[in-house]
Homo-oligomer: A and B are copies of this chain.
Amino acid sequence: MENTVKMPKGYKAAGVSCGIKKNGNKDLALITTDAPATAAGVFTRNIVKGHSLKWSMNHIHQNLIHAVVINSGNANACVGPEGDADAACMAALAAKLLGCEKEQVLLGSTGVIGYRLPMDKIGAGLQDAYSNLSEDGSFQAVSAIMTTDTFPKQLSLDVKLSGKTVTIYGMAKGSGMIHPNMATMIGLLLTDAAISKDLLQKALKSVVNKTFNRISVDGDTSVCDKVLLLANAMAGNREITLEDSDYALFTEGLEAVATTLAKMLAKDGEGATKLIEVNVKHAPDKETANKIANAICKSPLVKTAIFGEDANWGRILTAAGYSGAKFNPDLVDVRIGDLLMCKDGAGVSFDEEKALSVLKGNEIFITIDLKMGDATDTMWTCDLSYDYVKINGSYRT
């Protein structure tokens, strides 16, 4: 695998500013594929669903996909039937430019909830984006899908499948509200691999469960969150139709791209100063491990303590205790970095200076050892800082 940032064969992208965002930043991305692509998708489980998201859910499975349009600054959510009409209109405008059916255009919208999309601006913006489409346009596109993100997130890598090189590219936006089950994040994965529709969906689902569903910034989940995966078969590999070694290599590559993006999202959590990795070890089963990792990642008290570089391991154990998981508290060890702070459920003395030097790092590793079985789970989150409050206290206005 080679790590570069390039889009796979046949994809073009553009990102423009069409005036949805008040500050004039880029807010409309258009990504196209020369050969229509098989597509897979994973969507928010929030029962309130944005109109652009519903459009994509309704059309992803019956159609080969020509393009994806994503706007930022407005979520196109909770505006009533007009929101569905606006979504259809946005897809139709792009389809007209590209000469395809509107059902072959997938959509994403992210931003504030409850306001109609400015369709005139989007119409003009799509024209602009169309005339700027380029094989090198991914940086512009990823810039145009950002909301409170502080840096654009994209990467790509190559995988060799039976002698042919296949490229897997990914972009994502997130920051704030990122949480298991697709929260306020939009991920777009592109590949030139040839792979059957069923296996594409299977690969995406399993990879999302191990990556994007393992990050939490504040425990909120959102109404517009999705990960899309397009495969346009232009790499010329023999189509993957079985779960063979090519499938394994492809999935491994996809997971590597998604893991890196997921960690970028956690690290860029709103106001975050540190990436936190929570590892639960020796749990009796996967569900127990996940419940505990999840509770620790969501705990504002743990996250503020890490921000304050305070080795408050009691809060970690407390979060495990209220997670709903069943375990024996008298067996638990808690470590921050390599430092053992709690052994068999009781505090042990540790070097406070060493603890401070561990906590001064940019990446904090928390390990909970239940000493009960063989199951593990890993999740990522970030600390909770003053800036989280600042950013989220005046998002809408």
CB contacts (< 8 Å) of A346 on chain B: these are: 78-80, 83, 114
Contact with B along A180-198 (1 / 0, CB 8 A): 0101000000000000000
Q: Does A114 lie within 8 Å of B342, measured CB to CB?
A: yes
For this chain, the copies found in one complex come to 2
Within 8 A of B (CB), among A291-319: 298-301, 304-305, 307-315, 317-319
CB contacts (< 8 Å) of A78 on chain B: these are: 314, 317, 329, 342, 345-347
Q: Which of A78, A177, A312, A384 has the most CB of B within 10 A?
A: A78
Asked whether any CB of chain B lies closer than 8 Å to the CB of A205, the reply is no
Asked whether any CB of chain B lies closer than 8 Å to the CB of A386, the reply is yes
Selected interface stretch from A7-15, A153-161, A214-222:
A214-222
Within 8 A of B (CB), among A325-349: 326-327, 329, 341-342, 344-347
Asked whether any CB of chain B lies closer than 8 Å to the CB of A115, the reply is yes
CB contacts (< 8 Å) of A344 on chain B: these are: 80
Q: Does B113 lie within 8 Å of A314, measured CB to CB?
A: yes
Q: A300-B300, A300-B388, A347-B79 are in contact. Are A310 and B397 (CB under 8 A)?
A: yes
CA distance A300 to B178 in the complex (A): 12
- Closest chain B residue to A385, Cβ basis: B389
Q: A46-B318, A342-B78, A345-B80 are in contact. Are A393 and B220 (CB under 8 A)?
A: no
Asked whether any CB of chain B lies closer than 8 Å to the CB of A392, the reply is yes
Q: A220-B315, A223-B321, A317-B48 are in contact. Are A307 and B112 (CB under 8 A)?
A: no
Q: Which of A221, A314, A329, A341 has the most CB of B within 10 A?
A: A314
Asked whether any CB of chain B lies closer than 8 Å to the CB of A282, the reply is no
Q: Which 3 A-B pairs give the minimum distances between C-beta atoms?
A: A308-B393, A113-B314, A114-B347
Interface residues of A (CB under 8 A from B): 45-49, 75, 77-80, 83, 112-115, 176-177, 181, 183, 218-223, 298-301, 304-305, 307-315, 317-322, 326-327, 329, 341-342, 344-347, 384-386, 388-390, 392-397
7 other A-B residue contacts (CB within 8 Å) besides A48-B317, A183-B322, A308-B395 = A46-B318, A78-B317, A114-B347, A221-B318, A223-B314, A300-B384, A307-B389
